[in-house]
Structure 1
Amino acid sequence: MKISVFIISFIISISLSAQHDKVLEIRAYYKEVKSNIAINNPDSISYYYSDQIIRNRYDAQWRAIGIFHDTITYWYGDAMEAANMDGNTSQDSSWALKLVTISSQYSTMHQYREWLFLDGKLIFHFDKLDGSEYNPDSNWEYRYYFNDNKLIRFMSGGEIIGYDDDPASIILSGEEMKTMFRSIIRN
C-alpha cells in the first residue's frame, strides 16, 4: 500500500514538474515576443509586422454603453515562410501569428486581452479588466497557459488556482483571432 501511494505521488510530481517547465517555456517565449515588439521601429529592421483594427475611432456614444472603442493589434512574422514551416502540413499562414492584443474602453471600464501563439497554436491568454471603482468585484486579471490545446495552468491575479470551467471558450477565442488574421493577410 505504501509503495502504491509513493508511486502515485511520484507520477503526480513528475506531471506537475513537466507542466511547470512548460509554463516557464511559455513565459520565456512571451518575453522574447514582447521584447521584439518593443524594439519595432519604422526606421530600422523590425522583427514582426503589425496590423491594427480600430473600432469607433472617435468615441461616438454607443447605446447603453456610453464611450466605447477598441483596438485590435496583430503581431506576426513572414506569412509565406510560416506556411512552409516544418510540421505545417496544411500550409496555414496563421502560423506566422505571434501575438494579438485587444484594448477596449467601455465607459469607465478598460479591458486588455492577449493571445500568444506558437506554430499556429494558442499557448497563452491574458485577460484583465479594470472595472468600476465603485464595484471592486468588476476587476480581474486571468492568465491561461495551454499545451496542445489543454489548459495546464490557470492564474487569477498572481495566484495559481484550479479552473473548473471548460477552457473551450478561450481556445475558441484564439481560433477566432486566427480567422480574423487570415482574412487580413489574404492577398
Structure 2
Amino acid sequence: MKKQIFCIALFLASVAGVSAQANKNIQKIEAYYKEVAEKARLCETDDDQGEFGELVMNTLTINSRSHQWRAVGIYGQTIKFFYKGGDTEERMYPDKLVLVVNERKVSAQRYREEWLFSETGELMLFTFKVESEEPPLDARIYYSGGKAIRTIDGKKVTDRLTALDLKYTNVRAAEGRRLKELFARSISL
C-alpha cells in the first residue's frame, strides 16, 4: 500500500513539475510577445520608430482597393512582416523575422492572425482573433522546441493536446513556415 501511495505521489510531483515548467515557458513567451508587439506597434504608428527603431516592416496587400469578389463580397488581406538585424558586420542588413501579422477582411468579418518567432527563428506563439464576433473569438497556441505546449481557445486552456489539437497546431506551424519562406524570398528580390 505504501508503495502505491509513493508511486502516486511521485507521479503527481512529476506532473506538477512539468506544468510549472510549461507555465514558465509561457510567461517568457508572453513577456517577449508584449515587447515585440509594442515595438511593432511603434514601427507602424510612430514616424521616428518607423524610421530609426529596432524593427523594420514590409507589407504585402491583396486587393488594396477593396474590389468586390463574387460569393465573398469585400475581401482584403494585409500581411505585415516585422524583422530586425543589420547590427553586426556579418549581418549588415535586417533579415531576422520576429513577427508576422495577417489581417483579413471578408465581408463584415475581420480576422487577425499573428506568428511570433524567437531570436533563432523558432515559432513561439500563434494567435487568432475574430474581432467582429460577439463576443470576440480569441485563440492562442504556444510552442516550444517546435511543438505545441498549450492551446487557449477563449477561456479553455489545454495542456494535454489531443490528436485533433495536434493536427490544428501543426497546420498553423506550417503556415508560419510558409510565411517565413515568403519573407525570405521577398527580401532577396
TM range, normalised to the smaller chain?
Answer: 0.7 to 0.9
Q: C-alpha distance in 2, partners of 1:132/1:171?
A: 25
1:144 alignment partner in structure 2: 141
Alignment of 1:111-126 (within 5 A): 111-118=111-118, 119-126=120-127
Report whether the alignment pairs 1:16 with 2:23. Answer: no
Indicate conservation of the 8 Å contact 1:108/1:132, yes or no.
no
Q: C-alpha distance in 2, partners of 1:112/1:25?
A: 23
Report whether the alignment pairs 1:42 with 2:47. Answer: yes
Superposition deviation, residue 160 in structure 1: 1.0
Q: Which residue identity is paired with 1:31?
A: K
Q: TM-score, normalised by structure 2?
A: 0.83
Q: C-alpha distance in 1, partners of 2:109/2:138?
A: 13
Q: Answer 1 or 2: higher relative contact order, Cα 8 Å, separation at least 6.
A: 1
Instruction: Give SS of 1:75's match.
Output: strand
1:59 alignment partner in structure 2: 66
Once structures 1 and 2 are overlaid, which stretch shifts more, 165-174 or 98-107? 165-174
Name the CA shift for 1:6/1:28 in 2 (closer, same or farther; >3 Å).
same
Name the CA shift for 1:130/1:35 in 2 (closer, same or farther; >3 Å).
closer
Q: Which residue identity is paired with 2:129?
A: K
2:181 alignment partner in structure 1: 179
Structure 1: where are the runs of 5+ without partners?
A: 85-92
Q: C-alpha distance in 2, partners of 1:149/1:11?
A: 22
Q: Percent identity?
A: 24
Instruction: Give SS of 1:43's match.
Output: helix
Indicate conservation of the 8 Å contact 1:103/1:111, yes or no.
yes
Alignment of 1:29-178 (within 5 A): 29-40=32-43, 41-44=46-49, 45-78=52-85, 96-118=96-118, 119-130=120-131, 140-161=137-158, 163-164=161-162, 165=164, 166=166, 167-178=169-180
Name the CA shift for 1:32/1:169 in 2 (closer, same or farther; >3 Å).
same
1:88 alignment partner in structure 2: none
Q: C-alpha distance in 1, partners of 2:122/2:56?
A: 19
Instruction: Give SS of 1:175's match.
Output: helix
Q: C-alpha distance in 1, partners of 2:20/2:131?
A: 33
Indicate conservation of the 8 Å contact 1:100/1:116, yes or no.
yes
Q: C-alpha distance in 2, partners of 1:74/1:126?
A: 15
1:6 alignment partner in structure 2: 9
Q: How many residues align?
A: 173
Name the CA shift for 1:153/1:132 in 2 (closer, same or farther; >3 Å).
closer
